[in-house]
């Protein structure tokens, strides 16, 4: 490091431009970023929805058929938040390879005519998506927050909550406040049904990813994981660098602090909470929205620094338990699919089948009212897995018996 700095300092100004690259700017020693050295930075964020559409189209343009367009292109772009250009290029390649393997299982028998008749189907894209993982920069300490969107099947459970949170955030976002001098902050707290994992991995991504406006906003993450995996950099320096990076952008961004309570406990134990807290308070008047999650909203009362950070009206949101209508929408998918399949097999829905489906559906909704989200998801998963093989075999009576047993086990002892 000393040798590098010496060489940089000896270079004659105006004759040489030195360009460096890193995906961990917050981990770079501050000595190398002083004026006259690497004192300017340009950040390239993962592409937004429109950018992902364009990149997918570019890499698929040489296909003879089936270029992704319309609603399916929208679906692909919405399913790949956080994917870099390289990730999307690999996704397109994997899709083609999947289609090729399906179309030409015998490589020795390939002909030009065979290749000309190759078609890429939606199932090829879905198979490639299942294989793909975006570049997980967070593992290496990147401060850029790029969560995976929640799976479609759980949207009925999170959609209303996410919409309400977005509405509350829009009212305090610094881009909507003229000459604000305080800190724009908001904390989201778990409910008795929702675990910290569900909040951070399903509700927050629904808020920040599945919305065209919020998806375009740059997001930084200040997490316990990053603090513990800071590597050779001092952990406090790592955190303060992220805060400084968000605050110095000059444009609206989000600083996401998952599990503020556990992060603050770790910092307090090591006597580092004062330093990080002071750095957060420097965000006064900045175009940064500090968005945190915690087990309880009372965490802000545990430390004067946190109380100052989240001081104000309507700066907290406690997630409510799932309503009856939300649980009905959630289980509707399973029983609607069952009803459709029975009609396809039998030509109509008999009164016995109609009664059984209604009763099973009602039991699922009624007995999940106070259960944790993990139990509700487990019940949905068990019913869905039971339907799959029975749909293929046409064993409707066995399917009905198995689904009743699953629901009975859930009602009786919650699968324990």
The pLDDT score that the predictor gives to residue 12 is: 76
Between the CA atoms of 28, 34, 37 and 42, what dihedral angle is there, to the nearest 10 degrees?
Answer: 60
The pLDDT score that the predictor gives to residue 49 is: 87
Q: Report whether 210 contacts 149 (CB < 8 A).
A: yes
The answer, yes or no, to whether residue 114 has pLDDT greater than 70, is no
Comparing 321 with 10, the larger pLDDT belongs to 321
How far apart are alpha carbons 81 and 74 in whole angstroms?
12
Q: Outline where 251-303 has alpha helix (H).
A: 260-269, 273-281
The pLDDT score that the predictor gives to residue 301 is: 85
Provide mean pLDDT across the span 47-54.
90
Structure tokens given for 119: 């078609």
Q: Report whether 327 contacts 369 (CB < 8 A).
A: yes
How far apart are alpha carbons 34 and 255 in whole angstroms?
24
Structure tokens given for 325: 């209508």
Provide mean pLDDT across the span 317-324.
93
How far apart are alpha carbons 311 and 306 in whole angstroms?
8
The answer, yes or no, to whether residue 221 has pLDDT greater than 80, is yes
Question: Rounded to the nearest 5 degrees, what angle is found at the Cα of 67, between the Cα atoms of 103 and 78?
Answer: 105
The pLDDT score that the predictor gives to residue 138 is: 43
The answer, yes or no, to whether residue 178 has pLDDT greater than 70, is no
Q: What are the percentages of helix, strand and coil residues in the chain, rounded to 5?
A: 60, 5, 35
The answer, yes or no, to whether residue 295 has pLDDT greater than 60, is yes
Q: Is 10 exposed, middle or buried (0-12, 13-18, 19+ CB in 10 A)?
A: exposed
The mean predicted confidence, pLDDT, of the chain is: 85
The model's confidence at residue 394, banded by pLDDT at 50, 70 and 90, is low
The answer, yes or no, to whether residue 19 has pLDDT greater than 70, is yes
How far apart are alpha carbons 129 and 205 in whole angstroms?
18
**Considering only 12-16, 125-129, 133-137, 372-376, which range has the smallest mean pLDDT?**
133-137
Structure tokens given for 352: 């016995």
The answer, yes or no, to whether residue 165 has pLDDT greater than 90, is yes
**Considering only 109-118, 190-199, 249-258, 360-369, which range has the smallest mean pLDDT?**
109-118
**Considering only 21-25, 62-66, 261-265, 315-319, which range has the smallest mean pLDDT?**
21-25
Q: Report whether 267 contacts 276 (CB < 8 A).
A: yes
Comparing 48 with 366, the larger pLDDT belongs to 366
How far apart are alpha carbons 142 and 139 in whole angstroms?
7
The pLDDT score that the predictor gives to residue 139 is: 42
Q: What are 288's strand-pairing partners?
A: 253
Q: Report whether 205 contacts 149 (CB < 8 A).
A: yes
The answer, yes or no, to whether residue 175 has pLDDT greater than 70, is no
The model's confidence at residue 326, banded by pLDDT at 50, 70 and 90, is very high
Beta strand pairing call for 316-318 and 184-189:
parallel
The answer, yes or no, to whether residue 164 has pLDDT greater than 90, is yes
Smallest CA-to-CA distance from 276 within 217, 235, 314 is with 235
């Amino acid at each position: 490091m000393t040798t590098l700095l010496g060489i940089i300092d000896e270079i004659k100004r105006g004759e040489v431009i030195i360009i460096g690259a890193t995906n961990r700017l917050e981990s770079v020693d501050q000595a190398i970023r002083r004026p006259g050295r690497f004192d300017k930075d340009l950040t390239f964020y993962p592409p937004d929805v429109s950018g992902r559409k364009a990149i997918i189209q570019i890499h698929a343009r040489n296909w003879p058929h089936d270029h992704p367009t319309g609603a399916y292109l929208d679906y692909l772009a919405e399913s790949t938040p956080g994917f870099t250009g390289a990730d999307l290029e690999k996704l397109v390649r994997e899709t083609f390879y999947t289609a090729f393997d399906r179309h030409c299982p015998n490589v020795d028998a390939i002909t030009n005519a065979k290749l000309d008749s190759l078609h890429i189907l939606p199932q090829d894209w879905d198979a490639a998506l299942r294989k793909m993982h975006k570049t997980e920069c967070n593992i290496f300490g990147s401060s850029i927050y790029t969560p995976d969107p929640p799976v479609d099947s759980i949207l009925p459970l999170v959609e209303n909550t996410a919409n309400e949170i977005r509405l509350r955030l829009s009212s305090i976002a610094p881009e909507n406040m003229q000459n604000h001098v305080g800190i724009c902050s908001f904390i989201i707290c778990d409910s008795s049904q929702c675990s910290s994992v569900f909040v951070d991995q399903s509700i927050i991504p629904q808020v920040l990813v599945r919305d065209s406006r919020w998806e375009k906003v740059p997001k930084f993450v200040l997490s316990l994981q990053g603090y513990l995996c800071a590597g050779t950099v001092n952990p406090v320096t790592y955190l303060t660098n992220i805060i400084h990076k968000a605050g110095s952008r000059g444009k609206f961004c989000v600083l996401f602090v998952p599990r503020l309570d556990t992060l603050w406990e770790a910092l307090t134990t090591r006597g580092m909470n004062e330093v990080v807290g002071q750095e957060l308070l420097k965000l006064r008047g900045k175009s940064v929205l500090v968005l945190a999650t915690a087990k309880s909203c009372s965490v802000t009362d545990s430390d004067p620094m946190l109380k100052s950070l989240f001081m104000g009206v309507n700066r907290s949101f406690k997630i409510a338990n799932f309503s009856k209508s939300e649980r009905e929408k959630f289980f509707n998918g399973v029983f609607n699919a069952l009803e459709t399949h029975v009609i396809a097999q039998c030509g109509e829905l008999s009164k016995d089948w109609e009664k059984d489906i209604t009763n099973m559906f009602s039991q699922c909704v009624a007995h999940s009212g106070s259960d944790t989200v993990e139990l509700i998801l487990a019940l949905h998963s068990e019913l869905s897995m039971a339907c799959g093989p029975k749909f293929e075999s046409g064993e409707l009576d066995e399917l009905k018996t198995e689904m009743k047993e699953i629901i009975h086990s859930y009602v009786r002892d919650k699968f324990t």
